[in-house]
Copies of this chain bind each other. A is one copy, B any other.
Amino acid sequence: MKLAIDAMGGDNAPGAIVEGTVRAAEAFPDLEFILVGDRARIEPLLSEHRHIDILHTTEKIEGTDAPVKAVRSKKQASMVLAVQEVREKRCAAAISAGNTGALMASGLFGVGRIKGIDRPALAPTLPTIHENKGFLFLDVGANAETKPENMLQYALMGSIYAEKIMHRSNPRIGLLNIGEEPGKGNELTKKAYQLLSEAPVNFIGNVESRELLQGPADVIVADGFSGNLVLKSIEGTAMSLINLLKETLGGSLYTKVLTGLMYGKLKSIKNRMDYSAYGGALLFGLSAPVIKVHGAAKSEAVFTAIKQAKLLVEEDVVGIIEETIHDKDHTWLNSKV
């Protein structure tokens, strides 16, 4: 299996990207890699690796670029070429830590959607406080406008992913909403509730944002606008609180001793809250695995995303989603195709 890696995307590129890839090449001798990017910057970071090739390009999409425009005009950008490797079947999956919108556009133009999926979703795995198991959260912002039917498709895709990749049997699907009772919410979530109730998934009902980190479900379905707000408020609150605690400790008389003792604890909590350690966010609904790694990702997250891509391909998650959607029994979904 060969994977295409955008070596130039994200805040820590190409260093963290190359380092994570080298680690993965050592850990999984059956994998091969194409690092796409500036050879002059990548090569010095690579000790010789039989399983890592470089596809040279100096063009690159910036974090600030307008996604669609950038993908259309920068045809030799590292991200665009990485996705093209998948489109032309030389690679089985693509990974990038670059501009999320541009990666989605590259994916849509490059490999296209699974037939029957109207809108791909951005789907990271978030940690939970106690079980260290995490839950899949989609959509967290691939689409600002969402229809109930999109959320039904997210639920279906999420359920398959949770079973095949996260190894949850009969995965629990929850709907992000502003109350637990069935009639709660806005027009969108009320309709989505109805559709999910009739879908062939283990739908457990509405879940409030307050409960998320307690792990009430294996998959949380949200419209992209709400999912993005909630994801970022979890991140922001966790980081603010941890920084506040560090400062509070730093001001104590017992600074040295306490800080030393606490540092390890804080770090482990911070890591548990850091969803990049849970791998990348899949662009769910594209007809081949394309994974978005957090822009601030270090080599560890790149390594995890590569493991995730390997599993996605081995388990043929995209193929199973396609089959499920076209299964004749699912007239509720076939009617949309």
B-contacting residues of A (Cβ < 8 Å)?
A: 129-130, 141, 144-145, 176, 178, 184-187, 189, 208-214, 224-226, 228-230, 232-238, 240-245, 248-249, 252, 254, 258, 261, 265, 268-269, 272-273
| Copies of this polypeptide in the complex | 2
Q: Is the interface of A mostly helix, strand, loop or mixed?
A: helix
> A241-B238, A254-B261, A258-B261 given as contacts; is B230 within 8 A of A230 (CB)?
yes
A210 touches B233 (CB 8 A): yes
> A214-B240, A238-B241, A244-B129 given as contacts; is B226 within 8 A of A209 (CB)?
no
The distance in angstroms between the C-alpha atoms of A56 and B111, with both chains bound, is 70
B240 touches A269 (CB 8 A): no
For A213, the closest partner residue in chain B by CB is: B240
B258 touches A237 (CB 8 A): no
Residue in contact with A232 in the complex, picked from B145, B209, B243, B249, CB distance below 8 Å? B209
B243 touches A129 (CB 8 A): yes
> A210-B236, A236-B213 given as contacts; is B145 within 8 A of A228 (CB)?
no
The distance in angstroms between the C-alpha atoms of A225 and B243, with both chains bound, is 29
A269 touches B244 (CB 8 A): yes
The distance in angstroms between the C-alpha atoms of A252 and B264, with both chains bound, is 11
The distance in angstroms between the C-alpha atoms of A184 and B269, with both chains bound, is 32
Which B residues touch A273, using CB under 8 A? 241
